[in-house]
Amino acid sequence: NSETSGSEQETHEIIMTHELPESFFKHEYMEQFKELVEERSDGRLEVTIHPSGQLYTDGEAVQNLGTGSVHMVWPVSVHLEALADEYGVVNLPFSLEDETVLQDQQYREELTGLLDSFVEDNGIKILGLMRTAEGIILTNDREINDMQDLSGLKIRSVGGHVANELLGAYGATAVSMPATEITTSLSQGVIDGVNTSPDGWIDVVGSAASHGFVVPEMQIFTYSLAADKQWFESLPDDLQQIIQETLDELIVDQWEESIEMDKQFLEEVSNDFGEVVRVPEDEVAAWREKAKTVHESFEEKHPDAMKKFNEIRD
Amino acid sequence: MKLLSFIQDKFVIGVGVGFFVISAAWMIIEAISRQFFSKSFAISEEVVVFSLVWAILLTLGASGKKGFHVSLDLFTSKFRPRFLKLSNIFTCIVGICYAGFIMFAGIEYVQHLLRTGITSHSPLRLPMSYVFLAVPIGMFFLAMYYLQSFIKEIKSKGE
Amino acid sequence: MEITLFIFILLTLLVLGTHIGVALGSSALVILLIFEGTNLTVISQQAFESINDYALAAIPFFILVGDIVMKGDLAKRLLDLADLILRRIHGGAAIAAMIVSVFFASISGSSVASTTALGKNVVNLLGEKGYPKRFIAGLVATGGTIGLLIPPSLSFILIGSMMGIPIIDLFTAGIVPGILQGVMLILVTWWISRKNRWESEFHNIKVTPKMIGERFKSSSGILFLPVLILGGIYLGIFTPTEAAAVAVFYALLLVIILKKTNMRGVWTMFKGALLQSGMVYLIIIGGALTAFMLQSLGLTQGLINLIAGSGLEAWQFLLITNLLIILLGLFLDGISVIVLVSPLLFPVAIAAGIDPIHFAVILTLNIEIAAVTPPVGLNLFVMSGLTKIPVEDVAKGVGPYYFVLIISLLLVTYFPQLSLVLLK
Ligand code: NA
Ligand code: NA
């Protein structure tokens, strides 16, 4: 009938935004996404990307999903904790494994579905997860080799309950501090360390930190691909499908590239000004054990979310 | 109008200064606690900034009343009294429109925040709708200040 | 087209005497609503986010420190000390006032705060010694401007928080240019006094170490304040923003110990500083809306492309930039200029290969000049108010100092080393 054919001809705008410079790989993936969906929809989808926080920072964008001023944003998953505490489940230590995410499509779908269920009442649709980076703890001049070395240190946290509690579990003090003050505070000794990512070491902290410390798979930070739910569901079904399928494709490539980039960044730093200590596989169990308190306190508050999350994983 | 003036001059300024004091005091507490007791509060940044945002927005109008907002008086100082009166009335109207517009935009945004129920990031988990309420409330008092100036200007006889 | 209309509306509003913040914001709103169809929520969000910033918290605190120092008569003690030490040279009191201005810059974060805090005391001291009002007013107005260059500095805090540059690096970058300019201003003060034979009957004045000792003791409290602020920042005890709050509490403690105020007085000072800060914030909000509009129109990117395509060399770009900012500074106050041009010019400067920290110092020097150039110069207004002479006369009093400001600007612009030498 004429009504559907009319709406099929209609073009739909997708306004996307992110807070990073255009040279970052998240921007490249947004560009790829734009190119693919525009092509696959024969131009019925039209993507506008506002980079560098020109429209919104990621946190602001999440806040504005539903106002019509932005339709899709890919913030670090911590931002979604501001909508639903349960969302923190994906930020728990040792909760994600690179291999599982890469290999298991069903796992990816179920995980996305679970996360989506936490925030659907807030008017947000979660379409998937990308990989931000693996967490690393940077220190100024003292080297960290084992758990005791972390004890008593003041470390700038990435934010969110979970990350703060994790630092606490190892005896460190989580400090909240604006990003602009990190380098200074680290070199002046206001703080002893920074919890960040390998690219954060290169781009933000630089040689203000000379030691990096990684516990394998303790912190796999993710981007949540978040859309305005009402907007998304008002799109014609075929367009929804194009968006979802395109993202599903990109996610796998992106996850692999992110792992590769973490490696490259750390190599770059090692060659230049820093040293990286990686906890050997046989010692990870001890770290896992200590991090249990974080899981327990999360489980106490959100037993349901924890249960469902474990079910998906097993 | 009298009641409004009272609310504006006593209550609103009082609350604003209160927030300002909280902001300053908390900053010191955080610095001392972090430096000397190795304890940092995850809520510090939000306490400091949100208190200050409230303090500032609430008192934007009062600030105008005290004559702190700057303008270009290079030309107005040379205006004839009659024209000066007109230009003053005009600038008051611009002020009312500007503050009023942001106020309405703010109210709309607060409603959106109420719908989504988004909270702040620190363990305070303050509903952002409450935090953001500072915009419409502050802009309301700024608009009221311009309205009062407008009425004063209309009533005054251009010498 | 849009930008022409924007400038037209803005100028009309300014000429008619609309508050600068409101003029900026409403002209931007008109363009955004007509041409961009911008969503209402974005506008309120931009207004909120522009002031929702940890670093900006330092603004009211630094204004408050200036107020406390002024109300507590702390500046007078310093001034008396410097005056006594310099009594045996030409224009001793004037030089003392200039030196105290430079010293005061390391306490105060803004030029208006510096000027206000020192103004009354300097007017009294130099007035008694027979200096012409016009000169006194010009001296204090100019001396106040160093407040922005020597840390702590509102200008650097504002630029750092808007552009994401570490504030402490900006603070450090301002030190050498600040001292350089301070020394030039002191020398010029001496030269003017000598030429006019002001305070030249000093040969038989007696100054004993005991007298100096006494005054030193009475100003030791305030002498320690910069040590606390800068020492605290550079030793890593607190962040630059926290330093502002620490300074507030130290100064409060000082005036309470000296019994210059009580709790009621403290409340009044907080209130005064908060209301004064409102002025800055109203401009920041309007400026943020303007910046957002410029970005929505793609003007920033357009300008980058234009500069990149024009084959302009860095030095030419800097010359044009300086002229442009000075022109803006004639009519707008420093905060408005920073808020207006930073989002536009920093990306362009970086693209032209200029170190953003160096560029921040250049911008700050321009803002200093803006504070003392008529028709709109906040320091001129403050001194005109205090001395009850017209703004034009204060500007005439600034007279020879304009050369110092211009020379400093040229030096800082074309010798980036001055700004960057203390940074590794
Ligand atoms: Na200063
Ligand atoms: Na000026």
B9 has a chain C CB within 8 A of its CB: no
Distance from CA of B117 to the nearest CA of A (A): 7
Strand partners, A48: A15
Chain C neighbors of A49, CB-CB under 8 A: none
How far are the Cα atoms of B122, C58, C236 from residue B42, in angstroms, in the given order? 6, 20, 19
- How far away, in angstroms, is C339 Cα from ligand 1 center? 19
Residues 85..114 of B with a Cβ closer than 8 Å to C: which?
Answer: 87-88, 90-91, 94-95, 97-99, 101-102, 104-106, 108-109, 112
Separation of C371 CA from ligand 2 center, angstroms?
Answer: 5
Q: What is the pLDDT of residues B82-111, one digit of tens each?
A: 999 999 999 999 999 999 999 999 999 999
Chain mean pLDDT for chain C: 87
Q: Which residues of chain C are within 8 Å of residue A54 when distances are taken between CB atoms? A: 295
Element (H, E) at A212: strand A211-214
The pLDDT tens digits for A203-227 are: 888 888 999 999 999 999 999 999 9
Averaged pLDDT for residues A123-131: 96
Instruction: Please state the separation of Cα B113 from the chain's center in Å.
Output: 20
Instruction: Dump pLDDT digits (tens) for A187-206.
Output: 778 899 999 999 989 888 88
Residue A128, beta-bridge partner list: A225
Inter-chain contact C270–B20, Cβ cutoff 8 Å? yes
Does C168 contact A at CB distance below 8 Å? yes
Query: From the candidates B38, B41, B112, B116, which should be mutated to test the interface with A, based on the most A CB atoms within 10 A?
Result: B116
For C99-128, how does the pLDDT look when each residue is reduced to its tens digit (9 = 90+)?
Answer: 998 888 888 877 777 787 788 888 888 888
Alpha-carbon gap, residue C267 to C264, rounded angstroms: 5
DSSP classification of residue A79:
G
**pTM to 2 decimal places:** 0.85
Which chains contact A through at least 3 pairs of Cβ atoms less than 8 Å apart? Answer: B, C
pLDDT of residue B158: 52
**Per-residue model confidence (pLDDT) at position A5:** 46
**Contact criterion met (CB < 8 Å) for A157 and B128:** no
Q: How far is A122 from chain B (nearest CA, A)?
A: 4
> Could you state, in order of their start, the residue ranges of all structural domains in chain C?
39-423
Give residue C158's pLDDT: 85
Task: Give residue-wise pLDDT tens across range B36-78.
Answer: 887 888 888 899 999 999 999 999 999 999 988 878 777 888 8
What is residue A1's predicted lDDT score, i.e. its pLDDT? 39
Please say if the pLDDT value at position A178 is more than 80: no
Question: Closest partner residue to C16 among B69, B91, B102, by Cβ?
Answer: B91
CB pair distance less than 8 Å for C237 and A190: yes
Across the interface, which of A64, A180, A185 has its CB nearest the CB of C161?
A180
C177-220 pLDDT per residue, tens = 999 999 999 999 999 998 888 877 766 777 888 888 988 888 88
Chain A residue at shortest CA distance from B120? A82
Nearest partner of C413 among C371, C355, C347, C373, judged by Cα? C355
SS3 (DSSP) at A24:
coil
**Which letter does DSSP use for residue A15 in this model?**
E
pLDDT of residue A102: 93
Whether the per-residue pLDDT at A296 is higher than 60: the answer is: yes
User: Which residue in C276, A301, C401, A266 sits closest to B16, CA to CA?
Assistant: C276
Give which of A57, A67, A122 to mutate to test B binding, by max B Cβ within 10 Å.
A67
Report pLDDT digits (tens) over C330-385: 877 787 788 878 878 888 888 888 999 999 999 999 988 988 988 778 888 888 88
Handedness of CA C419, C55, B13, B106 (dihedral sign): positive
- Cβ of A176 and B116 within 8 Å? no
Give the pair of three-digit tokens for residue B155.
Answer: 């009533």
Q: Are the C-beta atoms of residues A309 and A95 closer than 8 Å to each other?
A: yes
B50 C-alpha to center of ligand 1: Å?
26
Q: Choose the mutation target among B30, B40, B47 for the interface with A, i.e. most A CBs under 10 Å.
A: B40
**Phi/psi of residue C180, nearest 5 degrees:** -55, -50
Residues of B in CB contact (< 8 Å) with A are: 34-35, 38-45, 109, 112-113, 115-123, 125, 128
Q: What is the mean pLDDT of residues C2-11?
A: 90
pLDDT at residue C329 greater than cutoff 60: yes
Q: Does residue C125 contact residue C79 with C-beta atoms inside 8 Å?
A: yes
Ligand showing the shortest atom-to-Cα distance for residue C369: 2
Question: Are A129 and A113 a contacting pair, CB within 8 Å?
Answer: no
Least confident of A116-120, B64-68, C58-62: C58-62
pLDDT in tens, A30-82: 999 999 999 999 999 999 999 888 788 898 899 999 998 999 999 999 899 88
Statement: residue A8 has pLDDT above 70: no
Distance CA C207, CA C187 (A): 23
B115/A123 touch (CB, cutoff 8 Å), yes or no: yes
CB C372 within 8 A of CB C398: yes
* pLDDT at C140 > cutoff 80: yes
Beta bridge partners of A137: A195, A213
Query: What is the ipTM, given to two decimal places?
Result: 0.83
3-state DSSP assignment of residue A137? strand
Query: β-pairing, A136-139 with A193-196?
Result: antiparallel
Dihedral pair phi/psi, residue A276, rounded to 5°: -115, 130
Chains in touch with B (≥3 Cβ pairs < 8 A): A, C
Angle at B142 between CA B137 and CA B145, to 5 degrees: 130
Of A230-234, A255-259, C84-88, which range is least confident? C84-88
Residues C328/C370, Cβ–Cβ less than 8 Å: yes
Q: What is the pLDDT of residue C424?
A: 67
Number of A–C residue contacts, CB under 8 Å: 57
Residues of A in contact with B116 (CB under 8 A): 63, 65-66, 83, 122-124
Mark yes or no for CB contact C236/A185 under 8 Å: yes
The predicted-structure confidence for C241-272, as pLDDT tens digits, reads as follows 888 899 999 999 999 888 888 889 999 999 99
Mean pLDDT score, C260-285: 89
Task: Report whether A183 contacts A205 (CB < 8 A).
Answer: yes
Residues C149 and C159: their CA atoms lie apart, in Å, by 13
Mutate one of A176, A180, A182, A298 to test the B interface: name it (highest B CB count within 10 A). A176
Distance between CA atoms of C343 and A51, rounded to whole angstroms?
14
Instruction: Give the chain C residue nearest B98 (alpha carbons).
Output: C26
Q: Do C245 and B24 touch (CB under 8 A)?
A: yes
Percent of chain A as helix, strand, coil, to the nearest 5: 55, 20, 25
Signed CA dihedral, A181, A186, A189, A193: sign only: positive
Q: Tell me whether C235 touches chain A (CB under 8 Å).
A: yes
Check CB contact of C41 with chain A, cutoff 8 Å.
Answer: yes
